[in-house]
A and B are shown apart, each in its own frame.
Chain A
């Protein structure tokens, strides 16, 4: 798998996603709760 992606990739300068996207991901992660109980997994997004 590692051979597919070179270490010296053709990265474009300043090619990053918006801050809003990152903020959303971080918020999503904070709200996501995974609870395992008796073999079952419950996922919820808590505001």
Chain B
């Protein structure tokens, strides 16, 4: 009870502009609050962060004049810390963190799908070479191939666009691929990425 009165007095002094009162309050409850936070998060660095965030909220509330003195300073601070601990766990649950060890590295199991710079350059070169080869095809076969591969059109859409039947469009596509292979073999072109 006496401690609560002391806290109330210090709080009033701090609100009145006495910064030393805040220092006394923090030092007085440092171990209590820190122990509480650490007992939940079990990490020193996170404990420091949550302790800091807790008292930043305390300072903001006191300075804004939003604190209602009921002789319960410490429970109020502990409640703030408690809520911040909950926020911490909720955030970690949304974004779980995995730290590898010497024995196991998660990146040996999962990888980035994007090609690295070298592979991207090779891919770009192949795409460019393929574009040149496609130009060698007869017009009707080239058009169908471009519509199918590059514009992702269905054969129904291709037949409507070119004014031919679906079977004709299918046939042109088939011959386009056959002729493309012939061109590649004839010119002994190598199109590989790996």
* Chain B residues at the A interface, C-beta cutoff of 8 Å: 19, 22-23, 26-27, 30-32, 34-36, 38-39, 47-48, 51-52, 55-56, 59-60, 63-65, 72, 74-76, 78-79, 82
Contact = CB atoms under 8 A, between A and B. Distances in A.
Interface range on chain A (Cβ under 8 Å from partner): 20 to 34
Interface string A23-38: 0111011101110100
A22 B38 contact: no
- Say what secondary structure dominates the interface of chain B: helix
A11 B35 contact: yes
B7 to A, nearest CB: 13
Contacts of A47: none
Contact of B48 (A17, A36, A43): A17
Interface of A: 1-2, 4-5, 9-12, 15-18, 21-22, 24-26, 28-30, 32-34, 36, 41, 43
Contacts of A21: 48, 51-52
B55 A25 contact: yes
Given A1-B79, A5-B36, A34-B64, A29 B59 contact: yes
A5 B34 CA distance: 13
Contacts of B38: 12, 15
